[in-house]
């Protein structure tokens, strides 16, 4: 069994939110940095000085596109007592590890499912995801409940020190991501994935969320499931240069770590994947299709706990993988945005129970210090 992730409630302006995040989760921010800096050196084959120089370049890009998010990153560094360049670098982990094919490995993480209202028993949208990543990072995950000045309140799960990942906001906007690697990954400097996801979560309207993804210069490939509590979900397979759109079929949408778009496949951009991605998203659909019209949260849990193909299953158990870092499911998520709840299981959901986490209340929140 895994202990539940710390839930940290913060509020205020950008710098204050970051400072509270950094101070409350200082030990976990240190673990994030302690994991990624050696991983960057090892996988991307660059020096620590190179990493920090690259981080300064990304920092300038972040500042130009969203100065408030950059202030939050500065607050995290101050609150956690870490170098600013190191906090910027971990917020660019996808771009550094996978944004250049010289250091890239095929994507091996995450399975996402969406059941639209026509597919569920109660007529509400449900989104599920298993977050698969490198084994040690389960020790650095936190859940943030953020009441921001002038921006939507939101709840999201991140590796401590990062400003964005999977989450939802008070306007019913929701984003989940999966790693993709493509031929377009050539080390381009662009807005990093956590910043893209966070900006999606600052959207009030669905079109704003899509615009914030497709109109922003991107530095690496990625998959973004953007959903809304009123019953909409569309999947966006992106590279630094292109966007490919996947729509639900019969009220279901499933995705793993390969490009499903026939256009992407025909151009040859989508050649980097591992065998298990080809059955994980199909397996999820296979389990849910017989239940179309009656899908419940318990059905989503069953999918996310599925061990077909173990250890490289939807529910990924810790294992060695030749040519890759050891990976496992480090968190499992189910979003019920109609009821403003995210259900979170730490580690493999076969080993942990799901804990409900709500959006922040309207009143200012006290800071809950990480355990």
Average pLDDT value for residue range 43-64:
92
Contact 330, 165 (CB under 8 A): no
Which of 37-41, 193-197, 316-320 shows the lowest mean pLDDT across its residues? 316-320
Q: Where are the domains of the chain?
A: 7-358
pLDDT at residue number 107: 57
Average pLDDT value for residue range 338-358:
97
Contact 339, 124 (CB under 8 A): yes
Kindly report the pTM of this predicted structure.
0.93
Answer with the residue of higher pLDDT: 324 or 28: 28
Q: What is the pLDDT of residues 95-124, one digit of tens each?
A: 888 765 544 555 567 999 999 999 999 999
**DSSP letter, residue 218:** B
**Distance between CA 346 and CA 336 in Å, rounded?**
18
**Distance between CA 220 and CA 65 in Å, rounded?**
16
Which of 19-33, 211-225, 285-299 shows the lowest mean pLDDT across its residues? 211-225
The residue among 336, 62, 362, 32 whose CA lies nearest residue 199 is: 62
Q: What is the pLDDT of residues 119-174, one digit of tens each?
A: 999 999 999 999 999 999 999 999 999 999 999 999 999 999 999 999 999 999 99
Burial class (CB in 10 A: 0-12, 13-18, 19+), 355: middle
Neighbours of 60 (CB within 10 A): 13
- Asked whether residue 368 carries a pLDDT value surpassing 80, the answer given is no
Average pLDDT value for residue range 287-307:
98
Please provide the size of the chain in residues: 371
- Asked whether residue 268 carries a pLDDT value surpassing 80, the answer given is no
Q: If you average pLDDT over every residue of the chain, what do you get?
A: 92
**Distance between CA 37 and CA 93 in Å, rounded?**
9
The residue among 275, 316, 273, 313 whose CA lies nearest residue 180 is: 273
pLDDT at residue number 269: 81
Given CATH 3.60.60.10, say whether it is the number of domain 7-358.
Answer: yes
Query: Residue 367's pLDDT band (boundaries 50, 70, 90)?
Result: very low
pLDDT at residue number 371: 34
pLDDT at residue number 44: 84
């Amino acid at each position: 069994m895994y202990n539940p992730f710390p839930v940290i409630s913060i509020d205020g302006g950008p710098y204050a939110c970051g400072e509270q995040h950094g101070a409350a989760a200082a030990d976990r921010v240190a673990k994030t940095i302690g994991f990624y800096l050696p991983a960057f050196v090892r996988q991307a084959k660059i020096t620590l000085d190179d990493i920090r120089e690259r981080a300064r370049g990304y920092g300038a890009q972040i500042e130009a596109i969203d100065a408030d998010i950059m202030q939050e990153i500065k607050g995290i560094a101050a609150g956690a007592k870490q170098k600013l360049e190191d906090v910027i670098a971990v917020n660019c982990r996808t771009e550094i590890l996978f944004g250049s094919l010289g250091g890239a490995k095929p994507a091996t993480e995450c399975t996402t499912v969406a059941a639209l209202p026509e597919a569920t028993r109660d007529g509400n949208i449900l989104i599920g995801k298993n977050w698969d990543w490198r084994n040690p990072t389960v020790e650095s995950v936190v859940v943030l409940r953020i009441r921001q000045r002038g921006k939507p309140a939101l709840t999201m799960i991140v590796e401590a020190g990062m400003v964005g990942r999977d989450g939802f906001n008070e306007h019913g906007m929701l984003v989940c991501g999966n790693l993709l690697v493509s031929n377009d990954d050539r080390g381009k400097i662009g807005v990093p994935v956590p910043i893209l996801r966070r900006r999606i979560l600052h959207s009030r309207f669905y079109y704003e969320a899509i615009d914030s993804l497709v109109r922003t210069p991107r530095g690496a490939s990625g998959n973004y499931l953007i959903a809304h509590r009123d019953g909409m979900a569309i999947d966006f397979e992106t590279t630094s240069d292109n966007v490919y759109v996947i729509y639900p079929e019969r009220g279901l949408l499933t995705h793993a770590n390969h490009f499903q778009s026939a256009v992407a496949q025909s151009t040859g951009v989508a050649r980097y994947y591992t065998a298990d991605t080809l059955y994980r998203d199909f397996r999820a659909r296979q389990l849910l299709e017989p239940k179309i019209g009656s899908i419940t949260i318990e059905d989503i849990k069953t999918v996310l706990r599925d061990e077909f193909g173990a250890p490289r299953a939807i529910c990924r158990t810790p294992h060695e993988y030749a040519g890759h870092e050891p990976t496992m499911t480090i968190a499992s998520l189910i979003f019920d945005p109609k009821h403003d709840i995210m259900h979170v299981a730490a580690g493999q959901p076969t080993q942990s129970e799901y804990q409900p986490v709500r959006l922040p209340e309207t009143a200012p929140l006290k800071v809950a210090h990480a355990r």
